Amino acid sequence: MLAVSAWHKPLLHVIWTCFLAVLLSTLVQTQFNLLALQQLGVTIPFSERLATSLHDVRHFAPVYAAIFSCSYLVSQGIALWLSRWVAGRWQPALFALAAASGLWCTLMLVNALAPMPTLIAASRSLMGLLSLLLIAALAGAIFARALQPLPSARPQRALDASALVVLLPLLLSAGLVSPPAMATKSEYRVETLVKGLEHPWSVAFLSGGAMLVTERPGRLRLIHIDGRLEPEPIAGLPAVFASGQAGLFDVLPAPDFAQSQRIFLSYACGRMRANHTCLASARLDLSQLELTDVTEIFRTYPAKTGNAHYGGRLAFLDDGSLALSLGDGFDYREEAQRLSSHLGSIVRLWPDGSVPEDNPFVGQPGALAEIYSYGHRNVQGLVYDSATKQLLSHEHGPKGGDELNRIEPGVNFGWPVVTQGIDYTGARITPFTAYQGMQPPLLDWTPSIAPSGLTLYQGDLFPGWQGDLLVGALAGRQLQRVRLTGQGAEIVEVLLAELAERIRDVRTGPDGALYVLTDDGRGRLLRVTPALDGAGAKVH
């Protein structure tokens, strides 16, 4: 009982001050997120503000508690140990400084380890970060005041208490439950054409039967008509910024490639603290395996920091113009609602980089003329249906809220004012799943499948798939067949789930087969064709 009485008081104080800090930080986080929307001109009724605050207390607070408690318990344990040499009146400052420093270090560590640049959205701004640190400091100061006078005659007790506080995070645990993978009866066969590709991103077909594949680290590879991978990458690529999600993205031959030998490449350019999505045009010399006449024809504005959310898909429209999808840069999600920024938009250009005069915002003051549609998060699927004159795209949502959209010029697709998803921390990004003047999706995926790669099937090998969309899934590790239904769309079938591999790209080949890239350090190019029965006939 004596041993317990030596440490139970500081332990109880650290628990309730930790709880107080988590609650206050959650409410502050919510208000900063809502303030960012208000600065876009969005009206947020008090009822929605209250509902969002309560949602975040329930869903964000446990995540933040795990992060904060680790930093707080360790920092306050260290402060308890140091308090033996600090005068009583300075102890609140010591504990406050320890708590704020511990949280700052923890947030920096989490951001370095997490796949996204900034995990806690409020800390994207200096004021938001300072607010969280001040709350941590307040909790530390209150903790110190609650302990005074600290036991000076028994310094070992303070040391015992600090050790227990530091070890307490080991008692915390969390579990994540993943939904079971969807299964479907296989009536197709899969063969590996090429393996050993380093995070392949895009595949394109050349006249004559050869293929090009991009690798995200910054290599363009040639696959010969016989399926043989050329050992050396094609030379002459522009400088690529490769880090995290940044790298070499799409490759698209010009419609007249047989005559012009021209291709288009999208890629990340710049450096960690100032980078862009860029688009270049080049001539491909197959005899020398090099690019010549390489010209950058587009670069996003403004520059951004970090290495996430670039978009990068390309598609030609029937008038010869070129559409390029872009991302919001993750930390810059509000930019998707600003026409003065390319982030979070789809742009439309002529192949020389000039702007079509009928783009929707040409001549509008303060708007970038290249923008074709906006309010997107991270568009990684883009295809043009020449039969229906439709440009279709899909984009990543956060935790849920992936979208399939029919793109129309000048239309606002809502992000981040509207989404079906929530942040990775469980916090609400917005109170709204619909908002006046913003286009709803044809289909949304919640939970997220992380869609990447999109093709419109128009081949002969799978007659029942004519006009359907094939959607790759990174997190979902599958391929989904989707059918447009008037004003919406529906999932018809799940394919390739048995492979349990991240799907980065999917294309319809000239032979009617599906060509699929898996996203891995040793990724593969797969060919999907109808299954054969025992007599060698196709199974339908």
What values do phi and psi take at 324, rounded to 5?
Answer: -125, 125
Of the candidates 9, 29, 7, the one whose C-alpha atom is nearest the C-alpha of residue 136 is 29
The phi-psi region of residue 131 (left if phi > 0; otherwise alpha if psi is between -120 and 50; otherwise beta) is: alpha
Tell me if 524 sits within 8 A of 219, measured CB to CB: no
| Positive/negative CA dihedral, 206, 373, 278, 479 | negative
CA distance 77 to 103: 14
- Pairing status of strand 311-316 against strand 322-326: antiparallel
Listing DSSP states for 320-342 in one string gives S-EEEEEB-TTTTGGGGG-TT--
Which residue in the list 13, 309, 394, 396 is annotated as catalytic?
Answer: 309
Helix 91-113 vs helix 126-147: crossing angle, to nearest 10:
140
Of the candidates 54, 76, 68, the one whose C-alpha atom is nearest the C-alpha of residue 19 is 68
Task: For Cα atoms 477, 252, 196, give the angle at the middle one, nearest 5 degrees.
Answer: 45
What values do phi and psi take at 439, rounded to 5?
Answer: -80, 125
Per-residue burial over 136-151, b = 16 or more CB atoms within 10 Å of its CB, e = otherwise: bbbbbbbbbeebeebe
Helix 46-82 vs helix 2-38: crossing angle, to nearest 10:
140
540: annotated active-site residue: no
CA distance 48 to 57: 14
Q: For residue 447, say if its preceding peptide bond is cis, omega within 30 degrees of 0.
A: yes
Q: For residue 149, say if its preceding peptide bond is cis, omega within 30 degrees of 0.
A: yes
Tell me if 377 sits within 8 A of 333, measured CB to CB: yes
Tell me if 397 sits within 8 A of 336, measured CB to CB: no
Which residues are the active-site residues?
A: 309
